[in-house]
């Protein structure tokens, strides 16, 4: 049973932010509702005011600039990203991620901004965007600010958004030369969230690793960087022994939570396997870039 609420459907982002400022003490923002409506039905979330920004076309866009990189508006659907020729050409890993995100029905309605704001550690986009060194642009009626995605997730289902802020845009920088990014997850059903997921981005200088970012999904309360594993790879050349060492480091530094899907140790094992796999794939792709 969903608690009664007042429903607002603003026509502009400015109007939405004004409403949020007015009702911020007891208000939720909905942008697709693929996650929010579920927890509202379960009685885990109740609010007196609901602001629907799904149809704000000014936040529905995909843009690319060779200097600033990729910009995706918050109300852009997963399906739009999945089918975008521009995204496929410049950031193919986002398309491959979207191909495995839930079902077509969910991707047709769910939005990138809503997904990130929900703060689920098992979500697909966040590990990929973290590997890509993305940022999230947020705004209130008073100001806008840009938060590196590394700092966006605070705790379980908790983000750095203030009560009067909404996600406005996702910003992805232009990758450095000789860079490749790969992502995969382990799940039992193709439409399920990952029991764990790993995104890895590798930049090479010759045959050596110049820079690397490894992001783990559903391996802690929030999406996290495997920084110890990254440190092991810097300046090294690819070998099975190096991958084993990095995978073990990711295994050791993640903080998975046991649930009905997997034990803590099984999740650690999967993190090790998928870290090795994604780093190797990204490394090999970067060497051909």
The whole-number pLDDT of residue 192 equals 87
pLDDT at 76 over 90: yes
Torsion sign (Cα): 214, 217, 218, 221: positive
Q: Fold for domain 179-288?
A: Enolase-like; domain 1 (3.30.390)
The whole-number pLDDT of residue 191 equals 81
pLDDT at 202 over 90: yes
Q: Output b/e per residue, 221-251; b: 16+ Cβ within 10 A.
A: bbbbbbeebbebbeeeebeeebbeebbbbbb
Quickly state the pLDDT bin for 238 (edges 50, 70, 90). Answer: very high
Give me the CATH code for the 57-172 domain, please: 3.30.465.10
pLDDT at 190 over 90: no
The whole-number pLDDT of residue 3 equals 85
Instruction: Kindly report the backbone phi and psi dihedral angles of residue 73, in degrees, each rounded to the nearest multiple of 5, phi listed first.
Output: -70, 150
Strands 153-155 and 158-159: antiparallel
Stretch 47-70: mean pLDDT, rounded? 97
Its pTM surpasses 0.95? yes
Tokens at 163, concatenated: 């009560």
Among the ranges given (170-174, 188-192, 234-238, 260-264), the one the predictor scored with the smallest mean pLDDT = 188-192
Q: What is the mean pLDDT of the chain?
A: 97
Distances (CA, A) of 259 to 150, 155, 158, 177, 264: 25, 17, 19, 41, 8
Residue extents of the structural domains in the chain: 6-52, 57-172, 179-288
The whole-number pLDDT of residue 122 equals 96
Edge-first strand order for the sheet with 49-52 is 6-8, 49-52, 28-30
Stretch 160-170: mean pLDDT, rounded? 98
Stretch 35-64: mean pLDDT, rounded? 95
pLDDT at 1 over 80: no
Q: Is 117 in contact with 161 (CB distance < 8 Å)?
A: yes
Its CATH class, for the domain covering 6-52, is alpha beta
């Amino acid at each position: 049973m969903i608690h009664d609420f007042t429903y607002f459907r603003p026509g502009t982002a400015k109007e939405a932010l004004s409403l949020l400022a007015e009702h911020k003490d007891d208000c939720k923002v909905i942008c697709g509702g693929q996650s929010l409506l579920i927890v509202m039905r379960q009685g885990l979330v109740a609010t007196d005011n609901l602001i629907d920004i799904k149809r704000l076309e000014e936040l529905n866009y995909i843009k690319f600039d060779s200097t600033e990189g990729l910009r995706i508006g918050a109300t852009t659907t997963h399906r739009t990203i999945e089918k975008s020729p521009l995204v496929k050409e410049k950031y193919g890993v986002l398309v491959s991620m979207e191909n495995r995100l839930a079902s077509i029905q969910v991707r047709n309605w769910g939005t990138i901004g809503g997904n990130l704001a929900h703060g689920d550690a098992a979500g697909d986009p966040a590990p990929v965007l973290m590997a890509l060194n993305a940022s999230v642009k947020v705004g209130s009626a008073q100001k806008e600010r840009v938060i590196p995605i590394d700092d966006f997730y605070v705790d379980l289902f908790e983000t750095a958004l203030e009560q009067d802020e909404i996600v406005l845009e996702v910003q992805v920088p232009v990758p450095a030369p000789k860079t490749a990014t790969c992502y995969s997850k382990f799940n039992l059903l193709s439409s399920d969230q990952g029991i764990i997921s790993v995104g890895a981005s590798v930049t090479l200088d010759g045959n050596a690793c110049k820079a690397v970012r490894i992001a783990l999904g559903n391996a802690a309360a929030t999406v996290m960087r495997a920084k110890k594993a990254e440190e092991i790879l810097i300046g090294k050349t690819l070998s099975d022994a190096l991958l084993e060492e990095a995978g073990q480091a990711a295994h050791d530094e993640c903080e998975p939570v046991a649930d009905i899907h997997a034990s803590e140790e099984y999740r650690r094992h999967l993190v090790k396997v998928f870290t090795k796999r994604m780093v190797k794939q990204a490394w090999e792709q970067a060497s051909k870039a």
